[in-house]
Amino acid sequence: MASADNQLPRNTWIEIEMATLFFRPVCCVLAVVALQGCGSTRYVNSSYSFDKVSSPTVALFPASYDVSPAASDTVFTIVFDDLGIDFELPSRVRSSIEADSILVGLVDRLTSIHEKEQDLNAFFTPAEIEKIIGATEGATFLYVPAEISVKEGLYGILAGRASYRLYDSADGTLIFEDRVTINVTPTGEIRMGGLSSKMKIEFGDNLDVTKYKNARLCLAVLADFGRQSLEETLSEKIPSAIRKAKPTG
């Protein structure tokens, strides 16, 4: 996990809020398309049920973004800020993780999982799961943004990818996972999947979101897709988690 030491431009908060407000209808379309199997695959654990606590909390793990990690935390915080759940901020979770070198390695493994529809016990021992959960302040659920990438392709088109997984912290059960690919054109137009991702013509490293506005936009839309996927799943599977509350941390 990279160190969190980068800052966004001063106007980013307003910039991202305006962008996600404008593109949220696009994200709704992406979610619908994902359910139809076009460009994204969504899995919901049909056998999962939850009735353990009346006011569950969600720990939003820091995104596995290897460039400008603190800035990516800020983007996710802005996007998730108005979601009606009680959640732990990614920056607080990151602080806990970075204080323990063993935990850093475990979380790097957690955010690098490629296999689909697997509980945590498929990859970690009970002791390791307990240590991962220990990075949170007793959160009921772990929400893990993984495989996050924003890269530049031909003609200045950005290719963005992300996957999201929600786990029950009590036993590591996977509740749902969702994946999405998008493109952002040089003019800021959002496209589902698209030329860059399908033809694999993106190249180089992830873009620094502190320097490139369209990279921030791409990351914000990826985050907003994850936000809406989480909200829809909680509404369906864990309605007690939906309530108007300010983020903790």
Residue with tokens 């929400």: 143
Tell me the DSSP string of 4-42.
------TTHHHHHHHHHHHHHHHHHHHHHHHHTTSS--E
Q: Give whole-number Cα distances, 220 to 47, 93, 99, 108, 243, in Å.
A: 32, 19, 27, 22, 23
What are the chain's domains?
A: 12-241 (3.40.50.10610)
- Classify strands 158-168 and 141-152 as parallel, antiparallel or unpaired: antiparallel
Q: How many CA atoms lie within 13 A of 229 on its CB side?
A: 30
pTM of the model: 0.82
Ordered per-residue pLDDT tens for the chain, 249 residues? 544 444 655 555 556 555 555 555 555 554 444 444 444 478 899 999 887 767 788 999 998 777 778 888 888 888 888 777 888 999 999 999 999 999 999 999 998 887 788 999 999 999 999 999 999 988 999 999 988 889 888 888 888 989 999 999 988 999 999 988 888 889 888 877 654 444 444 457 888 888 888 888 888 888 888 998 898 888 888 887 776 444 455
